[in-house]
Structures are given as structure tokens and as C-alpha cells.
Structure 1
């Protein structure tokens, strides 16, 4: 694999360091899809489906080859990449971006988030909170905020946003398990307001309030959850939410590290 100073950021606007700015919309889609599948072959058909999902032009393969050629020139011209053209290779049926995944932010995010989840499972909440905070710190905005999304990049965006919410939930879990109830309340109120149907945020807010000695407010949050679920989905709160409400009502204190 070619040694390079190239870094690619997808968690926000697209940024490719050590390379002349890529401005053409289709080129940005191509490099985004290749980066999201770094060191794996992205087939010609997958690229065509991403760039022209409705009706590809008659000369689509020639156009795609031109895009790859243009990207190779950009990589080869990087200040630290005398062999930069080797970063983008041709393989039977497609192309591969031969870039270490440590140089692409989505893979660094996933590694840190997984490490944080494992630390929480080992009952190391301080370490888990640190790792998950670092993972979330890589996000600069919506995935590929300034790149056109075909079906594959759209699916990637949805998948990564789900991972972000999971990491955020786990980070708050770690804070609660560390006894940091009060400092999570404001953030959780914001999350509940912006993710009305995300029940786990309500449960976490109930836990944070209850752990801060604010029993009545915790019960009010449960009432709001019940109202929203009934009006929006015609559903009742989950068993876990009801169990925690019952613990509050009976005066028992749920452990800070229980799973919402």
C-alpha cells in the first residue's frame, strides 16, 4: 500500500487533504464512494448506479474512465505523493482506493465507537466515555453534506447517522455509569426535543433526573413519552420504560449502568 499523507473526511463536508480541491460534483461522488469502501473493489456497475441511478448516458463507461483518470492525476499531483496515482487502482470489473482505513474518518469513528462499547461492557465507564466522546468529535456535520447522494451514498448516510445515535446513547450511558447525572440533563432534553420518537433518550433523561434527585421531573418525562408514542404511533412505552417508572414510583433507585 502506498505511503501517503492523504486524509479523507466524510463526516461532514467532503475533504481530501494533500490533494488539489475536487470541485466537480461527479468526481466528488466517485471519491466518496471509493473512500467509503477503501481497499475493496467498487464495481463499475456500482459506480454507474450511484452517479446515474435513473438513466445512464450511452457512453457511460467512457465517462467513468475519464473521471478515474482525472482523480488519478489529482492524487499524483499531491505534494507528498510522488506515487499518488497508485492510490487509485484498476481491478477486474472495477476500481479500488488503496488507502489505509486509519486515514478515513468514518473508519476511525467506527473503531473508537466499537472500543468504547467494549469498554462499557467491561464496566470501564470512564474509558468508555473518553473513547465515545473522541468518536463523536470526528463528526463535523451531516455525512457528505456537500456531495450529491445517489442510492449508495444515501444508504451510507442513513447507516452512519444510526451509528452516531448509538454512539451518542452509549456515551451518555457511560457518563451516567460514572455518576455524571447532572451534566447530561441539558443535552438529553435537547435530544428528546429533536428525536421525539427515540425512546432511549427519554429513558436516559429519566435516569439522569432521578439520579440527580429530581423524581417528579423524571416522572413527567415518562408522561411525555407516553403521550408522544400514543399520538404519533398509537403505542405504549416499552417494558423497560415502564419498569423504570415503577422503580421511581416505589422509591427504588435504578443502577446508573443499567441498559435503557
Structure 2
């Protein structure tokens, strides 16, 4: 059986979707998948399912949800296999599944290869692996699940990992000099990540390196106005310096600033601007 977390939560067997429909049962499945092959305690299920308003019957009700999860999966793989998939293990339950059958585990494996390629300056490989990793995403993580405190923490972590993978791919393409080819995609990216200055910087650089300096300057004005309007901030020193270098190059008749087009993320502005700061997923 295969499981998908990077988009709508799905359980798939022989190309047939067999995801539980009941909202609470889906939450139980999501928790088990995010800690696949590790025991998830009953306290974690109760916290996710009810927060600080758990009923006196929380333990038995959780056990009922696990029963319904097994029953739902069992309709696809058989009751014996379902019992093996979702095992009782003190102080809770554990989902037994191979990493290759969870899209999140596949993503982590492929993106680790992209990161290794980037460290070795093999940017064609980096771009290919990063694109392969990003292709595993089919939407917002855990879409369709009514997330509580634990799952919301995981969703935030997954969204940051997706942004990091996207940054890695853009960085590789810029290092390969694919400026013109990246312009349309970067315009879409900054629409989705409007407060991420690093993505804006890559768009500005791609436009400038493609001989479209006036558009690059307008792109800078757009992000400057956005930051002032939304956050009351001026652009970061790095972004301001890029703007100044484009102006100086234009004044002296040069085609491009000396600034590297693929500098790392402008981390100095912090998470408030949408930058990726990798934090471990919350423990269950």
C-alpha cells in the first residue's frame, strides 16, 4: 500500500484510493504516517484529536478510530494485512510501511541527492533531482485533513521543506545560466511567495541577465513597495545592493552587475519574510 502526504492525504492500493473518509480517522492515519515505523503514543492522538477538551472517553474513542482505520485499510488489503500495517505497540500504535511507499520519504531521499550534487557543484544533477523531488507534491501538504496542534506543526515544517527544495532548484538553474528560461517560472514563484526576497532577487537578476534591465528595475520597485506596504520594511541590504549594481551597470553601459545571480537565500530577514529555517518536525 502506498501513502501520500504531499498534497491530499491518500492511501492507495493497486491504483485504487482507499483513504478513510471520517475526519478523525484521517487524522489518526496522518499522525501515524508522519511517524511511520515509530510508536505514536495515545497522548499524542488525544492531543491532536481534541486538544485541551478531550472527553473522559478519549482513550476508548481513540481505540475505536484505530479500529475503523484498520477496517478501512482492510477492505483493500485484507484484515490480516491491515493488522500488520497498524500494530498495537505500547504506549500507542505504529504504522509499518516501507519508506519507498510514502511520498514524503521519497521526497527526502531525492532532495538529499540534490543537496549532495549542489555541494559538488554538479548543478545539472541538482536541478534534475530537485525537480524530481518537487514533482512528488500534488498540493498543500495534508490537504483535506482538519489539522490540530501536532499536524499543524508538521504542515508548517513540510511547507518550509518544499520552499527549500524550490530554492535549491532555482539556485541550480541560475548557476547554469538559464536566466531567460526561468523568468516566467520566477514570476509565478514570487506570486506564491510574495515576501520571500530571495526569490524576488532571482527574478530581478534573471531579467537583468536577459537584457531586460527596465523590467528588472520595475521588479525591484514592486518588491520594495510590497515590503513597505505589508511589513513597513525597506528591502534587505542584499536586495538594495543588487538594485544599485544594476543601476551602476546601466549608467556605465555594462550589461550586468557583478553580483552573483545565485547567492544563497537572504536569511538575515528571517522567517517573517518567508525564508527557510529548517526546524525539526515536532515530536509526537
What is the TM-score when the length of structure 1 is the normalising length?
A: 0.90
Counterparts of 2:150 and 2:64 in 1: how far apart (Å)? 21
1:150 corresponds to which residue?
Answer: 148
Distance 1:31 1:201 in 2: 35
Q: Which of 42, 52, 56 in structure 2 is aligned with 1:44?
A: 42
Structure 1 range deviating more: 19-28 or 202-211: 19-28
Runs of 4+ with deviation above 6 angstroms: none
Q: What is the CA-CA distance between 1:250 and the residue it aligns to?
A: 2.8
- In the alignment, what sits opposite 1:90? 88
Instruction: Name the counterpart of 2:245.
Output: 247
Structure 2 gaps of 5+ residues are: 250-256, 266-284
* 1:12 pairs with one of 7, 10, 13: 7
In the TM superposition, residue 253 of structure 1 has moved relative to its aligned partner by 3.7
With 193-202 and 69-78 compared, the bigger mean Cα shift is at 69-78
Query: What is the TM-score with the length of structure 2 in the denominator?
Result: 0.83
1:175-219 deviation per Cα after TM superposition (whole angstroms, max 9, x unaligned) = 111111112111211222333211111101011112211122212
* Aligned mate of 2:109, from 94, 108, 111: 111
Contact 1:192–1:201, Cα closer than 8 Å, also in 2: yes
In the alignment, is residue 139 of structure 1 matched against residue 137 of structure 2? yes
The Cα offsets for residues 18-53 of structure 1, whole Å up to 9 and x where unpaired, read as 274411111111011100110111110100011111
**Is there any run of 5+ residues in structure 1 with no aligned partner, and where?**
1-5
SS of alignment partner, residue 57 of structure 1: coil
What is the rounded CA distance, in whole Å, between the counterparts of 2:84 and 2:170 in structure 1? 42
The correspondence for 2:58, drawn from 53, 57, 60, is 60
Following the alignment from structure 1 to structure 2, what is the Cα–Cα distance between the partners of residues 203 and 191?
Answer: 12
Question: Following the alignment from structure 1 to structure 2, what is the Cα–Cα distance between the partners of residues 80 and 48?
Answer: 27
**How much has 1:249 moved relative to structure 2?**
2.4
Given candidates 166, 172, 178, the residue that maps to 1:168 is 166
How far apart are the structure 1 equivalents of 2:151 and 2:179? Answer: 37
How far has the Cα of 1:84 moved from its partner?
3.7
Q: Say what the alpha-carbon RMSD is for the aligned residues.
A: 2.0
| Aligned residue number for residue 235 of structure 1 | 233
- Partners of 1:95 and 1:150 lie apart in 2 by 19
